[in-house]
Amino acid sequence: MDRIRAQEIAESPDMKNVQCHGKKVYIQHVNDGSETARVYDLNDPENEFDAQLSDLHEKI
């Protein structure tokens, strides 16, 4: 996913279908100065992690 789209999704009030390695995730924010975003697994919201933007895919 490109940085601009990831930022748009993070700022959107609507839930988007974003996956990371086949798991549905929520993008909290895009990290400045790196190609990563802070996300969490929707099935395990306590498990936050930094994901490479290239590993994030929006399913339409």
Instruction: List, for residues 22-44, the tens digit of each pLDDT value.
Output: 999 999 999 989 999 999 999 99
34-43 contacts: CB < 8 A, separation 24 or more? 35/3, 37/6, 37/10
With a cut of 90, say whether residue 46 has pLDDT above it.
yes
Q: What's the token pair of residue 12? A: 């959107």
Count of domains for the chain = 1
21 DSSP 8-state letter: T
Domain that holds residue 50: 3-58
**Cβ-proximal residues to 12 (8 Å cutoff; 6+ apart), any chain:** none
For the chain, what percent of residues have pLDDT higher than 90? Answer: 95
CB-CB neighbours of 32 under 10 Å: 6
Instruction: Tell the residue number behind the tokens 């999704």, with chain if given.
Output: 9
Mean residue pLDDT across the chain: 96
Query: pTM to 2 decimals?
Result: 0.92
With a cut of 90, say whether residue 60 has pLDDT above it.
no
